[in-house]
Chains A and B, each alone.
Chain A
């Protein structure tokens, strides 16, 4: 070992040994460990351990629509006060155009309106007013809706009993969820797909004319029944009290009514509810959830205690879920699931065992091939290849990378491609030895000459995989990670470790010939 510096040998051995030690947590793989060392294991992606990936979009357009509705109501009130009739109302995405029967008091209407609304612009065009919501205001509406949604989604998921969920914002108006180990993604989707806007409205049972014509008079609303959409209710548009005043909701069971949800209002809510019920004894109030009436009981006596129960034809799961939704609060805007990928635990386990098997068989195949071609040199390449795998596992474990199914494919591919650097070196050594017949010089030159080729050849693949990492989504990122790490590890093992092993071999055997 004359030509080989001691520090370099020690460093290489140190790296390889560290690699082997730190690949242990991933090889033994303990599910839950408090031990620092054993936590340096590879994380399994959802496609391998089972679970659900969901991408939700916050439908912020609904917010603008609501805002425009408020605006049109307020204009209507002003116009009514000034004895001006409204001919028609035209609502667009973020603007509204209101046409009046005459233009006498139009300037007045505009002025009065703008006293109450700051975040809009109102322009007069003949006998109509066009109102546009400001960009700034739209942005802040959106922003707060997304933040709120994120909070509520988190609460709902936590309440559903999912372990270690990942909930994060993605892009402008999206929420990304990773829910490992979820067995019933349908239930989660149901929970997330519900806005859960709960409001209590007084029912107008006197005006059967409007109800029959299916036209709600100003300030009223026609709402259908949740269980039978043919049943309609005419209710006050303005709610007496809403879900925002709830402080608790629990699933409960009533011997007569079956499964129900009992709830409790905060002080404000209790006061409002008490006032409404004492003024309207003998009338009905409607419990409206997301635009449909769940139940509309008659008020027998004022309810001042601030608590009550909602009955409906719930089963136990529905009652539990409604309680969860009410506790977590209403979403400011509906959420739409735009992407879902759910994998059952069976498939995940199958994928892991298939991947492992493919990797092992591939490894054996490549090793046998290398020995057949290169003999002892092949054996050295194989030792390098195995060291390479340990390094990949150790790197994946310590950086906490996530192993996915394509990631396993990346490892198997690396097994095939990692020997390339060794092959390049061996071929060069073979040529050099044919030229000069000197063992150590051939080895030295062979490595030196192969080096630039190895770098050029690997960097191109590295470029492709790094770009894949930045553009790829989900599982594909896992492929880019294992491939990149595999390439880096193979460059190290070929250039350093193979080199070291060959020097070791030739120094001890004192061979005078290279049989390649």
Chain B
């Protein structure tokens, strides 16, 4: 590595930049897959965004198929799903255009009252609210991305902002693709997950960018790919350790945090893994598009 080892005060010296083309192609492939999934399969929108009724019950003396046959005799588009274990069942109903919401929940409750030991929760989201929540959720994501972009632009040169945003869009797209692939319920907490992933993704990129900026000042003669490698290696143990502690917490949340939190934890786990990958293999290589030094051409001669 042309003596870089001597001035790298870190244990690793992996030349990440050598593999950048392979990883960029891989990422483009994943993004395309995500776009295809989102267009043709779509997200599994929960009642927050689609509207409808959701009732969670626990049953002692019945099972899902019995309840299903009772309910489907009265409702056309009722779906039942076990939630965590076979005693917990979630009943979903779409909004009926000609029926009052209160009636739906009441009718369901009356029909299955004898089979149920506890009505754990019931949710109803009317059509006006669901479209409003969707609009607000998208707005929140747009605003957050914009605000983060402004911050990066103020704190760094605009080229870094570009790199961070490319990585960010990459992370959000692929996370959405994975959510679509696994049919994960997309709800309000998924919006929270997406925003947190955005924050985390930028956070990861920023730490490496900070080091790149510092090294640009420190090693004025170093070629950019080598300088980027150096910077990634400098921060590599931090990148990995922080990802791992975050993942430890999230995996605990996924396993022990209860059924309701699982979709959120799942999205976050995917997002953190992709975010870590992209800050190294996407955000930094993107910076190579730009010339950070006016005398770039001269350096190549060394």
Interface residue ranges, A against B (CB under 8 Å)? 55, 57, 185-186, 189-190, 193, 336-344, 346-347, 350-351, 354-355, 357-359, 361-362, 365-366, 369-370, 373, 405-406, 408-409, 412-413, 415-417, 419-420, 423-424, 427, 431, 434-435, 452-453, 456-465, 467-468, 470-476, 479-480, 483
Contact = CB atoms under 8 A, between A and B. Distances in A.
B207 interface: yes
Contacts of B245: 366, 369-370, 416-417, 419-420, 423
Nearest to A406: B189
B249 interface: yes
Contact of A344 (B101, B121, B139, B210): B121
Nearest to A434: B9
Contacts of A457: 203-204, 206-207
A342 B191 contact: no
Nearest to A461: B199
A339 B126 contact: yes
Nearest to A455: B155
B241 interface: yes
A108 B119 CA distance: 64
A346 B61 CA distance: 18
Given A427-B235, A460-B152, A452 B210 contact: yes
Given A346-B120, A365-B252, A471-B137, A460 B199 contact: yes
Nearest to A453: B210
B256 A358 contact: yes
Contacts, number: 222
Contacts of A337: 101-102, 124, 126
A245 B109 CA distance: 37
17 contacts: A337-B126, A341-B122, A341-B123, A341-B124, A342-B121, A344-B118, A346-B58, A354-B258, A355-B261, A365-B248, A412-B249, A417-B245, A427-B237, A461-B199, A461-B202, A463-B147, A468-B196
A465 B195 contact: yes
Q: Is the interface of B mostly helix, strand, loop or mixed?
A: helix
Contact of A343 (B121, B198, B210, B244): B121
B241 A423 contact: yes
Please provide the 3 A-B residue pairs with the shortest distance between their CB atoms, ordered closest to farther. Answer: A416-B249, A471-B140, A461-B199
B106 interface: yes
A395 B221 CA distance: 49
A408 B257 contact: yes
Interface in B175-191: 188-189, 191
Nearest to A483: B196
A354 B191 CA distance: 22
Contacts of A342: 121-123
B188 A340 contact: no
Nearest to A338: B126
Contact of B234 (A366, A431, A435, A473): A431
B143 A471 contact: yes
B192 A476 contact: yes
A319 B106 CA distance: 20
Interface string B224-263: 0000000000110110011011111110110111101100
A415 B143 contact: no
Interface in B94-125: 100-102, 105-106, 109, 118-125
B127 to A, nearest CB: 8
A464 B206 CA distance: 15
Contact of A471 (B136, B249, B253, B268): B136
A464 B246 contact: no
B151 A339 contact: no
A55 B106 CA distance: 18
